Chains A and B, each alone.
Chain A
Amino acid sequence: MTSAVEFHNLSRVFDQVRAVDNVSMSVEEGEFFAMLGPSGSGKTTCLRLIAGFEQPSSGSVRIFGQEASGLPPYRRDVNTVFQDYALFPHMSVLDNVAYGLMVKGVGKRQRLEQAQAMLDLVKLEQYGARRPAALSGGQRQRVALARALINQPRVLLLDEPLGALDLKLREQMQIELKALQRKLGITFVYVTHDQGEALSMSDRVAVFNQGKIEQIATPRQLYTQPQSAFVADFVGTSNVFDAASAQALCGDARAFSIRPERISMSATAGARDGVHLSGELIDIQYLGAVSRFEVKSASGKIIAVVTPNTLDTPADNLVIGMPVFLFWTPGAMHRLSA
């Protein structure tokens, strides 16, 4: 199998800040690959290095085995969906979509036909004659997608494409994007800071932190087996215990993380085997399907606990300020590598 995109010891330095710091990775053909991280972690710079808007300070970028460093964006077989869409305001929606074909010299009639077909694909048949300014955010998003897909790129780059949409629309677009990617079979490289988005759509996720990749894994692996405290904390919520508190708690000096939903909580001390901890309940958040609690342990550590709001939970008789007892089985803990 060929790699669609490969980084070899890639670095990009801006004024002595290493935005991308010696990154190596490969994206397989046909994969939905997410680059996840907080802002300033280097994920967008990586995307721009693939697109050709940035050139590497050192290392190499390969697209389908071909060295891309030094190639300008217009000589690369990749297309980008921009964060704020970057639609051309002086052109109609149809001309926007047909732009990639126009600059290639495709005849007017043929390119407009193809552009109309792309608009059909993104369910905007009726909107070709409008100006981008007359569309809603979600519609502009679809136009940007159609415009990027018309050149039939081998890799589609998406830079936080759903960031500006409201929650409902975002969830709907996530499903549509994923379905589109399956249908077209194109490699998608997707940049986001939203871990939920990355987990729900991707085949694999690379977690970025300070210009480096912390972990590349499938969404399930990332959630259940985070390799570092950063990943454990950034992907979902997690309670991370460092070596010292792990030693005090269970006699094993290896740092570990535990997900809030793997902790059970009760008002009375239990007698089962496992890790026991007592503390004070300091916050209750009712979230509909689940409730989220914050418990302050005797050592002052805040621990998050999530319980489903099913009938048999005792959530109703818990009040802020009361002492509670936490318990989890050893298997629920995930050991973190240093």
Chain B
Amino acid sequence: MQSMQPSSSCWRRLGDGLYRHPGASLFLLLAPPLIWFGVVYLGSLFTLLLQSVFTFDDFTMNVSSALTWSNYRALLAPTNYDVVLRTVGMAAAVTLVSSVLAFPMAYYMARYARGWQKGFFYVAVMLPMWASYIVKAYSWTVILAKGGIVYWFYRHLGLTWVVEGLLSLPLIGGNSLSTSNLGRLTVFTYIWLPFMILPIQAALERVPRNLEQAAADLGATPTQTFRTVILPLAFPGVVAGSIFTFSLTLGDYIIPQLFGPPGLFIGTMVYTMQGSIGNLPLAAAFTVVPVVIIALYLSAAKRLGAFDAL
């Protein structure tokens, strides 16, 4: 005789029932993450959007729920508009420099590194991410400081004139490395570079090696092969990486305070508005800017065919 334990039979019936109704098991699997996303993520996004059309009373410093477009209009005021331009310009520069630096590295990792080398490169790229962001940011203040290691290096290499020349240029220049846009760009690029290398490497990893041979076989020089085969196929990786570097730079509020010339970034602006001033509606309107820019960027990338090869 087969004895059936009530508890196990109950579990078994539940299991059999789920097997017969795949829709139910899918619902059970997806419900927790969907609730999390729906409530926590979309909910807060909605609150943010709502907050951005609330009214802030300059005199009483109170927020009222009267709806207004004035916060968005305020974004177009020259001082605020400058903040947006400054931030977007830096984010674009960081993205460009990161992609140029990341591509050869990612290419080497995907094509040539074998065995222990592969592990070494992975760890080398990821290692900076093990350290706290704040620690890395502050350590760069020491690195770039007058009398720091960077100064020591170019003084001993006799390259002072190069650095002086760079610092005398408009836009990227400044009094010293740490107060120039060049210094800010350097630190941003250092911090976000891994986020560019890894997606490009993953994209290149999926490009079959014999496509390069096929191109060469048909008469393409290495440059032509790169332009017509490798780059188009790795482009989704570049776009993925650039979404990281671009949006992370757009939202950062620490590095702009530590490095570079004075002038607010979107992040520091939001920080100031919601913190000391308490103008949450304007802070919310500023926060919507990166969301819109990233959305525009993605649709442009889609139109350029960045995701066709996926």
A contact set with B: CB distance below 8 Å: 51-53, 72-74, 78-80, 82, 84, 86-90, 99-100, 102-104, 147-148, 151
Can you offer 6 A-B residue contacts whose CB atoms are under 8 A? A52-B216, A90-B308, A99-B215, A100-B218, A103-B228, A148-B217
Cβ-defined contact, B211 with A104, below 8 A: no
* Measured CA separation A73–B224 after assembly (Å): 13
Q: How far is the CB of A124 from chain B (nearest CB, A)?
A: 18
Say which residue of A73, A99, A103, A151 sits within 8 Å of B213 (CB atoms): A73
Q: How far is the CB of A157 from chain B (nearest CB, A)?
A: 8
* Measured CA separation A84–B274 after assembly (Å): 59
Cβ-defined contact, B211 with A73, below 8 A: no
* Measured CA separation A207–B85 after assembly (Å): 70
* Measured CA separation A74–B213 after assembly (Å): 9
Chain A residue numbers with a CB within 8 Å of B221 are 74, 103
Q: How far is the CB of A214 from chain B (nearest CB, A)?
A: 28
A53-B213, A73-B213 are contacts. A90–B218 as well, Cβ < 8 Å? no
Q: How far is the CB of A142 from chain B (nearest CB, A)?
A: 15
Besides the known contacts A103-B219, A103-B224, 15 further A-B residue pairs in the complex with CB atoms under 8 A apart: A52-B216, A73-B216, A74-B216, A74-B218, A80-B217, A84-B210, A86-B208, A86-B213, A86-B214, A88-B215, A89-B309, A90-B233, A100-B219, A104-B219, A148-B217
Cβ-defined contact, B220 with A74, below 8 A: yes
Chain B residue numbers with a CB within 8 Å of A87 are 214
Say which residue of B208, B210, B218 sits within 8 Å of A151 (CB atoms): B218
Chain B interface category by residue count: 10 to 19
**B143 is an interface residue with CB less than 8 A from chain A:** no
Cβ-defined contact, B217 with A90, below 8 A: no
Complex A-B, nearest 8 residue pairs according to Cβ-Cβ distance, in ascending order: A86-B214, A100-B218, A73-B216, A103-B220, A86-B210, A80-B217, A90-B309, A74-B216
**B229 is an interface residue with CB less than 8 A from chain A:** yes
Chain B residue numbers with a CB within 8 Å of A89 are 233, 309
Docked complex: B222-240 residues within 8 A CB-CB of A: 224, 228-229, 232-233
Interface string of B175-186 (1 = CB under 8 A from A): 000000000000
Cβ-defined contact, A79 with B233, below 8 A: no
Chain A residue numbers with a CB within 8 Å of B224 are 103
* Measured CA separation A197–B3 after assembly (Å): 64
Chain B residue numbers with a CB within 8 Å of A103 are 215, 218-221, 224, 228
Cβ-defined contact, B233 with A73, below 8 A: no
* Measured CA separation A87–B213 after assembly (Å): 11
* Measured CA separation A90–B309 after assembly (Å): 6
Q: How far is the CB of B303 from chain A (nearest CB, A)?
A: 15
Chain A residue numbers with a CB within 8 Å of B216 are 52-53, 72-74
Cβ-defined contact, A90 with B232, below 8 A: yes
Cβ-defined contact, B214 with A82, below 8 A: yes
* Measured CA separation A84–B211 after assembly (Å): 10
Q: How far is the CB of B215 from chain A (nearest CB, A)?
A: 7
Say which residue of A82, A84, A88, A151 sits within 8 Å of B219 (CB atoms): A151
Q: How far is the CB of B309 from chain A (nearest CB, A)?
A: 5
Cβ-defined contact, B309 with A147, below 8 A: no
Chain B residue numbers with a CB within 8 Å of A52 are 216-217
Docked complex: B256-310 residues within 8 A CB-CB of A: 308-309
Chain B residue numbers with a CB within 8 Å of A73 are 213, 216-217
* Measured CA separation A52–B213 after assembly (Å): 9
Chain B residue numbers with a CB within 8 Å of A84 are 208, 210
Closest to B216 in A: A73
A74-B219, A86-B208, A90-B309 are contacts. A102–B214 as well, Cβ < 8 Å? no
Cβ-defined contact, A82 with B215, below 8 A: no
Closest to A100 in B: B218
* Measured CA separation A147–B218 after assembly (Å): 8
Chain B residue numbers with a CB within 8 Å of A51 are 213, 217
A102-B228, A103-B224 are contacts. A88–B217 as well, Cβ < 8 Å? no
* Measured CA separation A87–B233 after assembly (Å): 13
* Measured CA separation A103–B218 after assembly (Å): 8
Interface centre among B213, B218, B224 (most CB of A within 10 A): B218
Chain A residue numbers with a CB within 8 Å of B228 are 99, 102-103
Cβ-defined contact, B220 with A88, below 8 A: no
* Measured CA separation A267–B232 after assembly (Å): 70
* Measured CA separation A204–B224 after assembly (Å): 37
Say which residue of A82, A147, A148 sits within 8 Å of B210 (CB atoms): A82
Interface centre among B210, B211, B214, B308 (most CB of A within 10 A): B214
* Measured CA separation A337–B224 after assembly (Å): 52
* Measured CA separation A74–B233 after assembly (Å): 21
Cβ-defined contact, B218 with A79, below 8 A: yes
Closest to A157 in B: B217
* Measured CA separation A74–B215 after assembly (Å): 8
Interface string of B192-218 (1 = CB under 8 A from A): 000000000000000010110111111
Q: How far is the CB of B234 from chain A (nearest CB, A)?
A: 11
* Measured CA separation A82–B211 after assembly (Å): 10
Say which residue of B213, B214, B308 sits within 8 Å of A88 (CB atoms): B214
* Measured CA separation A78–B232 after assembly (Å): 26
* Measured CA separation A142–B12 after assembly (Å): 54
Q: How far is the CB of B209 from chain A (nearest CB, A)?
A: 9
* Measured CA separation A131–B105 after assembly (Å): 31
* Measured CA separation A148–B232 after assembly (Å): 21
Cβ-defined contact, B210 with A88, below 8 A: no
Q: How far is the CB of B205 from chain A (nearest CB, A)?
A: 15
* Measured CA separation A248–B45 after assembly (Å): 92
* Measured CA separation A73–B221 after assembly (Å): 9
* Measured CA separation A51–B49 after assembly (Å): 61
* Measured CA separation A151–B217 after assembly (Å): 10
Closest to A76 in B: B217
Docked complex: B30-68 residues within 8 A CB-CB of A: none
* Measured CA separation A78–B217 after assembly (Å): 8
Chain A residue numbers with a CB within 8 Å of B218 are 74, 79, 99-100, 103, 147-148, 151
